[in-house]
A and B are shown apart, each in its own frame.
Chain A
Amino acid sequence: EIVLTQSPATLSLPPGERATLSCRASQRISRYLAWYQQKPGQAPRLLIYDASNRATGIPARFSGSGSGTDFTLTISSLEPEDFAMYYCQMRSNWPPAYTFGQGTKLEI
């Protein structure tokens, strides 16, 4: 079973700063990795799919990168609405399973 480890657990930054969130897989995985943002009481919102593709309507300040075992979500300049929980999710090839990381809390 592949495990996704997100770091840091909590990231404290001021608005305007650059945020770098990490997601590490316990084994090499394909580029089938997604990133989500979740605010309290809301459903998750897809930000990035296939490691680096921005979902529809997602601002350009969000970018994804990585391959193999190490993936990164970067927010180039934090806006007040960006402070939330962030999760990565991978899709394993066979049998299909869609594991989530335990999340990074991005706080002001």
Chain B
Amino acid sequence: QVQLVESGGGVVQPGRSLRLSCAASGFTFSNYGMHWVRQAPGKWLEWVAIIWYDGTDKYYADSVKGRFTISRDNSKNTLYLQMNSLRAEDTAVYYCARGLSTSGSDYWGLGTLVTVSS
């Protein structure tokens, strides 16, 4: 069955960096675009970034552009999110999700919590 498992979250000071990983299994990872979506405590969902199935194109929300980098290693079935210059407002649960070709994400991981605090 399809599984997405995020890791790498934790507590980090403002201005520091963190890298999240998402291990995929149960499907042909290299056939799908992948998203990162986050949710601050008690808030709504916020789309963060998408990477095309082959890694050729990447797009970001304005709130993270220039600070976050999405990448993937199709040989390892793994998605990444490199987060630099972290701010308090980046505190959230970060989910990875498998994208459908048109709209929607049909499988989601359980999320990993990132807390930015001094």
Contact = CB atoms under 8 A, between A and B. Distances in A.
Nearest to A92: B59
Contacts of A33: 103
A97 B61 contact: yes
Contacts, number: 67
Contacts of B105: 34, 44, 46
A98 B47 contact: yes
A33 B50 CA distance: 16
A106 B64 CA distance: 31
A91 B103 contact: yes
Question: Which applies to chain A's interface (DSSP): helix, strand, loop or mixed?
Answer: loop
A46 B98 CA distance: 11
Contacts of B45: 36, 38, 44, 87, 89, 100, 103
A50 B44 contact: no
A50 B102 contact: yes
Interface string A38-67: 100001111011110001100000000000
A74 interface: no
Chain B, interface residues (CB within 8 Å), range: 20 to 34
A56 B109 CA distance: 17
Contact of B50 (A56, A89, A98): A98
Interface residues of A, number: 30
Nearest to A43: B108
Given A97-B47, A100-B46, A102-B44, A43 B111 contact: yes
A99 B102 contact: no
Nearest to A51: B103
Given A96-B59, A99-B47, A100-B45, A49 B109 contact: no
B35 interface: yes
